[in-house]
Each structure stands twice: as C-alpha cells, then as structure tokens.
Amino acid sequence: MSDKNNDTLDKTSASRRRFLQAGLAGGAVLAGASAARAAGDPLITEVQDWNRYLGDGVDANPYGMPSEFEAHVVRRDVPWLTADPVSSINFTPLHELDGIITPNGVCFERHHGGTAIINPADHRLMINGLVDTPLVFTMQDLMRFPRENRVYFLECAANSGMEWRGSQLNGCQFTHGMVHCVAYTGVPLKYLLEEAGVKTNGKWVLAEGADAAAMTRSIPMDKALDDCLVAFKMNGEALRPEQGYPLRLVVPGWEGNMWVKWLRRLEVGDEPWAQREETSKYTDLLANGKARRHTWEMEVKSVITNPSPQAPITHGRGQMVISGLAWSGYGRIQRVDVSIDGGRNWQTARLDGPSLPKALHRFYHDFQWDGSEMLIQSRAIDEGGYIQPTKDELRAARGENSIYHNNGIQTWYVKADGVVENVEVS
C-alpha cells in the first residue's frame, strides 16, 4: 500500500520536473511561488498599512527620487583607490541595474580636479587654431544648431585595470563599473567645426575642460567629423554636474578620458599635442618596455552582472536567469555566449532590448540550475567578428604592466550555497 503511494509520488514529482524543464518560457510553475505556500502568509491574509492609509500627495517630491528601499543602489568607491576624492573614481552599481540605460544618479564619476560647478549663463565654448574664423559660443548659440539624440556607452580605459595581474575586487561594480550608457542630446561636433571653417592642414582637435584639471586630449579630425557630439542633455535632462554640466564632448566607442567634461575649448591643429593624458597616462606599457599609444577604441567586452559577488543567488536551485552586459567600441554586439563550467561549454545567450552601435547590450541566459558549483563566464563577439579574449590571451599579447584596455573574460565562482567570488581560470 505505502509502496504504491510512494510510486505515485515519485511519478508525480518526476513529471513535475519534466514540466519545469519544458515549461520554461511559460514560467507558470515556479518552485516556491505556489498559492498553497502563501496560504498562511499575513502579507496575503491581512490588510497592510499601505493598503489602508492614504499615501503622500503629488507635492511631496518635486524631483522624484528612487524608493527608500533602493537606498543601497549607489555609486561606491574602493577606499585604497580613493586617497583623494577630488582626483578619483567611483563605480556604477551594475549588479543592481537592468536594461541598457544607466540612470543619471548612478553613472560612475571620474574626475581629476573635482566637479566644476558652472552656471550655464557663464559658460563659453571657444574654437580656435587652424580655422578660418575663431568662434566663441554661448549655450544659447549652441541651441540654434541642429541637434541629435544617440545612445552610447562611456567606458574609462582603466575599467578592470586593477584585475590585470589577477582577480582582486569582489563585485562587478568594482571590476567593471567604470562604464555607463546614456541617451545624449547634442550638436554634432562637425557642424561647429564647419561653422568655424577648418583649414586644410587642420588634422587634429584638442578638447579642453573648464575644470580645475583643465583636462586636454587630442582627437583626430576624422573622428571629430564622424560621430562626436557636443552634448548638453543625458537621458532627457541636463547633464549632471558630475558628468560635465553644462557641456561635454561625446566620443563614441573611444576611451572615456577623451570625453572631455565642462568642455570650454576646441583647438584645431596639424598634429597631436602630446598632453599628459596621452603620454604618461592612457598609454599601455608592454613587456618589452615599449608603450602602445593612441589606443582609443574600447574593444569588445562583456560581464555577467547577476549573479555576481554583490548579488549572490538567494532563491535556490531550479529555474534562474543569468544576466549581463556586452559592448564594443567598434559597433553592435553580434552574439554573447555564456558558460557555467569555466569556458569548456558555451551556450548562446539571449540579447534583449535595442541593439545600438557603441551602446551597452543586455543579455540573458535562462536555465535550470542543479544547485552545484559553477564557474560562470560570458564572451561577447561584435559585428566586426572580434571575439572577447581570455585574460591569458590578453597577457600573452600585452604582458602584465598594463592598466588600461583590459577586456578579458571575467569568471565568477558560484558556490552551492549561491555565494559568488571573483576568480580566474586558466
């Protein structure tokens, strides 16, 4: 009798397992989400305060802020990297975000001389050097030029730099959080240069910031005329002060350092200027003692944002989602592969959301976790066919002295209890 019952039970649970596997897309039956389980739950059986009392009126928040329960979703820094906050860096909380757009309040900040506070009425943009007519624009002048809206990622060349010699920081916010992706509104730089009239020997543009660091970078004329923007809005509203209010240069796909904030001057010249930020910094020292310079493009890269060390698995085995970001300074992402066994086997992930050139792409891998340890990795391929390298491949090509342009494949070690650690496999 009891044997029979056990048989029946076994059959039931076996067929239920099959259903869970086959019924992924429907998602109707999820472990832990059944109505029966909620039967004695006071959150179901009793009326809650927020259901009983009136809430705040429309005047409570003239400028809306995230829910108080999202207070942990903030930029964070790494104390040993942040000896002096005016020349430092904080990181985007990638593991708390989804989709492809970074909310303005959590875009990572990198500044060399603190945040300049500029009244737009006092801001000027000068174009000088090898031009027919040197010009000075007010913000109002700029509003008279045709403007465009485009979504781009900005990645600091030093993103993942602390991981060159081995895994170190425990969280994708810290290993990969020097990136954000924003919808910019701005005037194509080409229109402003055309207005000034670039002389035939004008081959380079020096962009200069109005901050205390007066950041300067040389940009080749081809790029300046191609897709650069002089932007004043991010995600529909004015740039945040930290992001260069009232004006910043957008240099799509190229290293963040060139995206000069608080943009005050563009000088046209016939050769690069060899400024600090393109000689002693933002060059890549190779094993043979020579340095790569003018390494502008941010090459194809990806990272799994969930699960990750700051975002462990808390729901147990069964149906789950691996999620992450992929991007390439050369264009669109064509494909992302995900591995759960340290790169031995790969599955094609599902790209979702707009696929825009030089923007973040969101990927998902929906699968059944059997509860055993995993070494999870993602590997992106861009539309040019460039495949994201392993960290070993990267070191074989560039040695171990580099800081910048680390686009190697990241590994997260997921333990059976769902806790995640930053590791490397070779």
What is the binding site for Mo ion (CB under 5 A)?
Answer: 110, 156, 256-257
Of the residues 91, 108, 184, 364, which one makes contact with ligand MTE according to CB under 6 A: 108
Return d(Cα 350, Cα 22) in angstroms, integer. Answer: 18
**Separation between Cα atoms, residue 351 and residue 20, nearest integer Å:** 23
Half-sphere exposure of 282 (CA within 13 A, CB side): 23
The nearest distance, CB 74 to Mo ion, in angstroms, is 20
Determine which residue in the list 243, 283, 305, 310 makes contact with ligand MTE, applying CB under 6 A.
Answer: 243
Binding region for ligand MTE (CB under 6 A) out of 93-101, 106-114, 369-377, 380-388? 106-114
Closest distance between Mo ion and the C-beta of residue 215, in Å? 10
User: What's the Rg (C-alpha) of the chain?
Assistant: 25
Query: What does 211 interact with, of ligand MTE, Mo ion, none (CB < 5 to 8 A by kind)?
Result: ligand MTE
Q: Sign of the C-alpha dihedral, residues 369, 308, 339, 379?
A: positive
Residue 167 C-beta: closest distance to ligand MTE, Å: 22
Helix residue ranges, H only, 177-233: 189-196, 221-226
- CA neighbor of 81 nearest in space, from 344, 403, 407: 403
> In the complex, which residue's CB is closest to ligand MTE?
209
What's the count of helices (H) and strands (E) in the chain, helices before strands?
Answer: 8, 23
By CB neighbour count within 10 A (0-12 exposed, 13-18 middle, 19+ buried), where does 127 fall? buried
Q: Report the partner that residue 127 touches, choosing among ligand MTE, Mo ion, none (CB closer than 5 to 8 A by kind).
A: none
Alpha-carbon gap, residue 122 to 141, rounded angstroms = 13
Residues 109 to 148 in contact with ligand MTE, rule: CB under 6 A: 109-112
State in angstroms the smallest separation of the CB of 32 from ligand MTE: 39
User: Which CB atom, from 258 or from 313, has the smaller least distance to ligand MTE?
Assistant: 258
Under the criterion CB under 6 A, does residue 299 sit at the interface with ligand MTE? no
- Give the DSSP H or E segment for 11: helix 2-22
SS3 251: coil
Should residue 311 be labelled a site residue for ligand MTE when binding is judged by CB under 6 A?
A: no
- Closest contact distance (angstroms) between CB of 408 and Mo ion is 18
The interface partner of residue 259, options being Mo ion, ligand MTE, none and the CB cut-off 5 to 8 Å by kind, is ligand MTE
Establish if 176 lies at the interface with ligand MTE (CB under 6 A): no
Touching ligand MTE, residues 198-227 (CB under 6 A): 209, 211, 213, 215
3-state secondary structure of 125: strand
**239 vs 381 by CB, closer to Mo ion:** 239
Site string for ligand MTE, 254-273 (x = CB under 6 A): --xx-xxxx-----------
Report the distance separating Cα 419 and Cα 414, nearest Å: 6
- The least distance separating Mo ion from the CB of residue 281, rounded to whole angstroms, comes to 9
- Give the DSSP letter string of 135-159: EEEEHHHHTTS--EEEEEEEE-TTT
Nearer CB in complex with ligand MTE: 110/147: 110
| Residue 92 token pair | 């985007």
CB of 154 to ligand MTE, least distance (A): 6
Quick one: what does residue 107 bind among Mo ion, ligand MTE, none, with the CB cut-off 5 to 8 Å set by partner type? ligand MTE
- Least distance (Å) between residue 256 CB and Mo ion: 4
Paired strand residues for 42: none
Q: How far is the CB of 92 from ligand MTE (least distance, A)?
A: 8
- Measured distance CA(38)–CA(222) in Å, rounded: 62
Q: What residues from 332 to 371 belong to the interface with ligand MTE (CB under 6 A)?
A: none
Cβ proximity to ligand MTE, 204 vs 259, nearer residue: 259
Applying CB under 6 A, the site for ligand MTE has a residue count of: 21
User: DSSP characters for 348-399?
Assistant: EPEEES---TTS-EEEEEEEEE-SS-EEEEEEEEETT-PBPPPHHHHHHHH-
The smaller minimum CB distance to ligand MTE, of residues 262 and 327, is found at 262
**Contacts with ligand MTE, residue ranges (CB under 6 A):** 107-112, 154, 156, 180, 209, 211, 213, 215, 242-243, 256-257, 259-262
